[in-house]
């Protein structure tokens, strides 16, 4: 008979310092590659620029696999913290939830978030990290290894001019925490370019010692020029609508004074594509700022159509009619931010819906009134979308970002793309999906958990299939649209997996998945 382990007070462990990050890195960052921990350091530098303390940021990918990010901001304080008794720069890189952004009246008017885990996560998942600070006429340096361990304490290593300041962080990502230790250069360049676009006047320089690439971005025209560049010659319905709006609130209000958004939006005949940011941080999964933007556009054009009696009898507009053909870049500036998880992919601050909707609706309605030609064209497009929806059901089009279909956020992808070897498991329920993720071989096995009741597709029109979110996610993940059995093989040209395996209960819901 097996001996049972003791379950008493001694059985409980407490993970201290950065050990939780190293134990479960996926809770704090994306582990596909080191891009996200690189972004955390970049965001700290850009925070200085966003709040008016820096105008230059430089990122370098070194030949030894390390990455450095430098700015000419104020420089992280190197003195002792009044309560903790250790240098502030050490606190920032070795303690979760340590930073200058929590306290009311803090040093940052705007910042990407209040989780306070950013650069400390980068340190935790790096073999080595070095910080060089120029501040108050001196150059200080501190080095860490494996996160918590200080291998070189804070020390003055030289002098600088009294007006020279800034921070330079260099880190060596630890390959054991990532599927690949190589930074995706295309995604990194897009990230850097977007920072320059979102903050006119900021000079962002990129140097890659491995590939030999050197680039510098400094946008003066902002979002509208960037959107035009993204549309790449597509015919726009009407003119581009761009603007900036802020709110002034009372002390008791949940929002912050000056909260608001900047945007550029244009409509095309093709499916819309968009990018959104919060305090310069990309939010690929959208969130409440996108919801507010969408609502503001919808309410304005609905009011315009009703005021001018443009809606045919029986046609009622919905937000999707306005949104599905909208191409946009949205940059929200929010004082009090809350994100879904530590990776900051989605904004969840509830009050932001009202804030962004409020600053967009009235300017857009006024713009429609001032630009009747564009307003008429956009209204006709929106009404056409509404008519099509009411005839054949709402069709949810695969949203695209940067020209590539965005995969479902709940998909745990595999490493290889060879369909002769890879396979995807459709798992009924998140709990079962968690077990499969643990047991899978990440090299060639992907997991897609399904939530809720899956649509029975046996006798349903193709046009209504994508109205079900699970059907939509399965189609995007596999890379194939629903089609008839005798369809041409060309429908499989974007197939992403060679096998699709169903793990479901032997009940009605499981049969619905099998039918699909």
The residue ranges of every structural domain in the chain are 19-217, 223-402, 407-515
The residue from 229, 253, 270, 505 that is catalytic is 505
Tell me, yes or no, if 428 is annotated catalytic: yes
Is the CB of residue 147 less than 8 Å from the CB of residue 23?
Answer: no
Residue corresponding to tokens 């304080």: 77
Active-site residue, selected from the candidate residues 428, 481, 486, 489: 428
CATH of the structural domain 407-515, one choice from 3.40.50.670, 3.40.50.720, 3.30.160.100, 2.60.40.10? 3.40.50.670
64 belongs to the catalytic site: no
Which sign, positive or negative, has the C-alpha torsion 239, 244, 249, 255?
positive
Contact between 119 and 92 (Cβ < 8 Å): yes
- DSSP letter for 490, please: G
Bridge-based pairing of strands 138-145 and 214-217 is unpaired
Distance set, CA 83 to CA 53, 79, 92, 103, 367 (Å):
26, 12, 14, 15, 53
389 burial via Cβ count (<10 Å: 0-12, 13-18, 19+): buried
> Using one digit for the tens of pLDDT, what is the confidence trace for 337-391?
888 876 678 899 999 999 999 999 999 999 999 999 999 999 999 999 998 888 7
Distance, CA of 343 to CA of 282 (rounded, Å): 10
Query: Which residue numbers in the chain have pLDDT < 50?
Result: 1, 101-109, 112-116, 250, 252-256, 393-404
User: Cα 327–350–114 angle (5° rounding)?
Assistant: 95
Beta bridge partners of 266: 327
Q: Any catalytic annotation for residue 47?
A: no
pTM: 0.64
Dump strand ranges (E) for 379-455. 400-401, 404-405, 423-428, 445-450
C-alpha neighbours within 13 Å on the C-beta side of residue 354:
8
- Nearest in space to 223 (alpha carbons), one of 374, 327, 377: 327
pLDDT of the residue at 12: 58
Q: Which of 136, 185, 481, 509 is catalytic?
A: 509
- Fold designation for 223-402: Ribosomal Protein S5; domain 2 (3.30.230)
Q: Write down the pLDDT at residue 438.
A: 80
Helix (H) or strand (E) holding 154: strand 149-159
**What is the pLDDT, as a whole number, of residue 474?**
86
| Residue carrying the six token digits 């009747």 | 372
Distance of CA 386 to the CA centre of its chain: 30
- Contacts of residue 476, defined as CB under 8 A and 6 or more positions apart, other chains included, come to 398, 405, 406, 407, 408
Question: If 0-12 CB within 10 Å is exposed, 13-18 middle and 19+ buried, where does residue 57 land?
Answer: buried
Express each pLDDT in 69-79 by its tens digit: 999 999 999 98
Quote the pLDDT of residue 509. 65
* CATH fold for the domain made of 19-217: Heat Shock Protein 90 (3.30.565)
Instruction: Give dist(CA 181, CA 189) in Å, integer.
Output: 17
Nearest CA among 283, 298, 297 for reference residue 337: 283
Closest among 201, 239, 233 to 220, alpha carbons compared: 201
**What is the C-alpha to C-alpha distance for residues 253 and 275, in angstroms, rounded to an integer?**
28
Distance, CA of 91 to CA of 116 (rounded, Å) = 11
Quick one: which H or E segment has residue 122? helix 118-124
Contact 95, 320 (CB under 8 A): no
How many of the other CB atoms lie within 10 Å of CB of 437?
Answer: 17
CA atoms within 13 A on the CB side of 369: 12
Encoding tokens for residue 423? Answer: 């396979």
Among 232, 459, 489, 507, the active-site one is 507
Assigned token pair, 222: 């902002």
Pairing mode, if any, of strands 400-401 and 404-405? antiparallel
Burial class (CB in 10 A: 0-12, 13-18, 19+), 227: buried
Can 509 be counted among the known catalytic residues? yes
- H helical segments located in 206-326: 223-231, 288-307, 319-323
β-bridge mates for residue 262, sequence order: 244, 331
């Amino acid at each position: 008979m097996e001996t049972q382990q003791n379950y008493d007070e001694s059985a409980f462990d407490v993970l201290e310092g950065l050990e939780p990050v190293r134990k479960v890195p996926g809770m704090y960052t994306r582990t596909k590659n080191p891009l996200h921990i690189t972004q955390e350091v970049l965001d700290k530098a850009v925070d200085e620029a966003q709040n008016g303390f820096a105008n230059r940021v430089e990122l370098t990918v070194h030949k030894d696999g390390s990455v450095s990010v430098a700015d000419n901001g104020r420089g992280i304080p190197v003195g002792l913290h009044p309560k903790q008794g250790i240098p502030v720069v050490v606190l920032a890189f070795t303690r979760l939830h340590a930073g200058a952004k929590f306290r009311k009246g803090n040093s940052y008017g705007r910042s990407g978030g209040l989780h306070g885990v950013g650069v400390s996560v980068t340190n935790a998942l790096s073999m080595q990290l070095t910080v060089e600070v120029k501040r108050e006429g001196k150059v200080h340096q501190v080095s860490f290894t494996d996160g918590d361990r200080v291998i070189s304490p804070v020390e003055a290593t030289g002098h600088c001019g009294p007006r020279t300041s800034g921070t330079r962080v260099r880190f060596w990502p630890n390959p054991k925490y990532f599927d690949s230790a190589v930074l995706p250069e295309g995604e990194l360049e897009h990230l850097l370019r977007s920072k320059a676009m979102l903050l006119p006047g900021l000079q962002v320089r990129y140097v890659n010692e491995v590939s030999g690439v050197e680039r510098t971005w400094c946008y003066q025209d902002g979002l509208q020029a960037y959107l035009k560049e993204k549309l790449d010659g597509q015919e726009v319905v009407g003119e581009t609508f761009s603007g900036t709006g802020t709110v002034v609130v009372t002390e008791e209000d949940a929002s912050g004074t000056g909260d608001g958004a900047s945007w550029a939006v244009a409509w095309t005949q093709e499916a819309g594509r968009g990018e959104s940011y919060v305090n310069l941080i990309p939010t690929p999964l959208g969130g409440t700022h996108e919801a507010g933007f969408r609502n503001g556009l919808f309410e304005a054009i609905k009011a315009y159509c009703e005021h001018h009696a443009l809606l045919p009898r029986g046609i009622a507009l919905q937000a999707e009619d306005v949104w599905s053909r909208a191409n946009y870049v949205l940059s929200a500036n929010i004082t009090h931010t809350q994100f879904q998880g530590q990776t900051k992919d989605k904004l969840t601050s509830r009050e932001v819906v009202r804030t962004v909707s409020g600053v967009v609706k009235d300017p857009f309605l006024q713009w429609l009134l001032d630009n009747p030609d564009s307003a008429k064209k956009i209204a006709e497009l929106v009404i056409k979308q509404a008519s099509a929806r009411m005839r054949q059901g709402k069709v949810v089009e695969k949203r695209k970002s940067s020209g590539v279909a965005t995969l479902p956020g709940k998909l745990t992808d595999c490493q290889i793309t060879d369909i002769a070897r890879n396979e995807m498991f459709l798992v009924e329920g998140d709990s079962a999906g968690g077990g499969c993720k643990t047991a899978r071989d990440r090299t060639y096995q992907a997991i897609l958990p399904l939530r809720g009741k899956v649509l029975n597709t046996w006798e349903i029109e193709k046009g209504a299939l994508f109205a079900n979110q699970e059907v939509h996610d399965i189609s995007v993940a596999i890379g194939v649209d629903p089609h008839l059995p005798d369809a041409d093989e060309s429908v499989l040209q974007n197939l992403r997996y060679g096998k699709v395996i169903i793990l479901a209960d032997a009940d009605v819901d499981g049969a619905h998945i099998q039918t699909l």
